[in-house]
């Protein structure tokens, strides 16, 4: 099944079967469902990039490269392409919960680097787990922060020469956050597969709280009505993309963008969509 069809099905379940209530933090009503998940085979069904509305490609490409680099200041590479993390910087222009920094430095070990080392040495390992959530300070009514990780862990397995990726998310805004997260982490999957010399396999995405804000109800209904494209997108990476991402090579963003953009034929953008913080 294509990602567009999966997405339409998830939106329909949330709008028709989800629970509607006002969220205390935001003051907005949401339609929400608990425990949603999907899986898609990237090799068979294509790269999971939404075409039911236009998604800004350079945003998720640059963000994921910034993550791989382990940086936590947007001025280092990321701000050349997007200001998406600027709302979450402290006075020192540091994103304290920057995902890549958490993967590579925050816990006293390079989790992402160790993941690559482990699977290069033992592709059959089932211990390829990377954690973003810091139990010492995140959530549970603890330290007040402008942002805590939504995708909080991922697991990577290599089975029969294909790299599979499971992303676990505590909370997903299904209109703005979800399509962006899926494309970004699927790109990470493809980059890791190239680094390890295997093919990308199944991308799996599990959400605890999947929700649609009241201001996005009409957009969700519009995308459910739109016709799904049968065209599949295949991401062909430049050589040594992982290494180039680590070195914050700005040309890598342009090269990946050019490859995807040549294939991307989205429906028209839906105007007026705003992030609820």
The b-or-e profile of 16-36 (16+ CB within 10 A means b, else e) is: eebeeeeeeeeeebbbbbeeb
Domain boundaries, the chain: 3-55+102-234
pLDDT of the residue at 216: 97
pLDDT of the residue at 141: 85
List residues bridging with 211 in a β-sheet: 32, 173
pLDDT of the residue at 50: 98
pLDDT of the residue at 73: 96
pLDDT, tens only, 5-53: 999 999 999 999 999 999 988 999 999 999 999 999 999 999 999 999 9
DSSP state of 125: -
**Is residue 153 predicted with pLDDT exceeding 90?**
yes
Select from 243, 241, 233, 245 the least CA-distant residue to 55. Answer: 233
Please identify which residue in the block is written with the tokens 């998406």. Answer: 84
What are the phi and psi torsion angles at 30 (to 5°)? Answer: -130, 150
pLDDT of the residue at 30: 97
- At 198, the pLDDT band (50, 70, 90 cuts) reads very high
Select from 248, 242, 275 the least CA-distant residue to 116. Answer: 242
**Is residue 155 predicted with pLDDT exceeding 90?**
yes
Q: How many CB atoms lie within 10 A of CB 222?
A: 13
- At 277, the pLDDT band (50, 70, 90 cuts) reads confident
pLDDT of the residue at 253: 98
Please identify which residue in the block is written with the tokens 């890549």. Answer: 100
Q: In sequence order, which residues have a C-beta less than 8 Å from that of residue 91 and are 6 or more positions away?
A: none
- At 144, the pLDDT band (50, 70, 90 cuts) reads confident
pLDDT, tens only, 76-125: 999 999 999 998 999 999 999 999 999 999 999 999 999 999 999 999 99
What percentage of the chain exceeds 90 in pLDDT? 92
What are the phi and psi torsion angles at 140 (to 5°)? Answer: 60, 25
Query: Helix (H, G, I), strand (E, B), or coil: what is residue 220?
Result: helix
Q: Please identify which of the residues 150, 158, 233, 256 carries the catalytic annotation.
A: 150
pLDDT of the residue at 25: 87
pLDDT of the residue at 63: 98
Average pLDDT over residues 261-276: 92
**Is residue 229 predicted with pLDDT exceeding 90?**
no
Q: Is the dihedral of CA 229, 231, 234, 235 positive or negative?
A: negative
Length of the chain: 277
Q: How far apart are CA 267 and CA 23, in angstroms?
A: 31
Enter the pTM of the model.
0.96
Residue 150 known to be catalytic = yes
pLDDT of the residue at 272: 86
Q: Which fold has domain 3-55+102-234?
A: Thymidylate Synthase; Chain A (3.30.572)
pLDDT of the residue at 217: 97
């Amino acid at each position: 099944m294509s990602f567009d069809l999966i997405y339409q099905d998830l939106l329909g379940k949330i709008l028709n079967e989800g629970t509607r209530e006002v969220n205390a933090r935001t003051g907005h009503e949401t339609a929400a469902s608990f425990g949603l998940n999907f899986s898609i085979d990237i090799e068979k069904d294509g790269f999971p990039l939404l075409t039911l509305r236009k998604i800004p490609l350079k945003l998720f490409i640059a963000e994921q490269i910034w993550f791989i680099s382990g940086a936590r200041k947007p001025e280092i590479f990321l701000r050349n392409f997007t200001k998406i993390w600027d709302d979450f910087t402290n006075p020192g222009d540091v994103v304290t919960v920057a995902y890549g920094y958490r993967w590579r430095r925050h816990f006293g070990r390079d989790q992402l680097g160790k993941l690559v080392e482990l699977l290069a040495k033992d592709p059959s390992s089932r211990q390829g787990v990377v954690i973003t959530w810091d139990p010492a300070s995140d959530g549970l009514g603890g330290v007040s922060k402008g942002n805590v990780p939504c995708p909080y862990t991922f697991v990577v397995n290599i089975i029969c020469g294909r790299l599979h990726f499971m992303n676990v998310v505590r909370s997903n805004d299904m209109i703005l956050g979800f399509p962006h997260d899926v494309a970004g982490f699927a790109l990470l999957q493809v980059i890791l597969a190239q680094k390890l010399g295997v093919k990308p396999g199944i991308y799996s995405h599990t959400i605890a709280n999947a929700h649609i804000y009241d201001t996005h109800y009409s957009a969700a209904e519009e995308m459910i009505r739109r016709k799904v494209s049968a065209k599949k997108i295949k991401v062909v990476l430049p050589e040594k993309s992982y290494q180039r991402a680590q070195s914050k090579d700005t040309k890598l963003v342009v090269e990946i963008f050019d490859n995807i953009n040549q294939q991307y034929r989205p429906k028209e953008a839906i105007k007026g969509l705003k992030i609820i913080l």
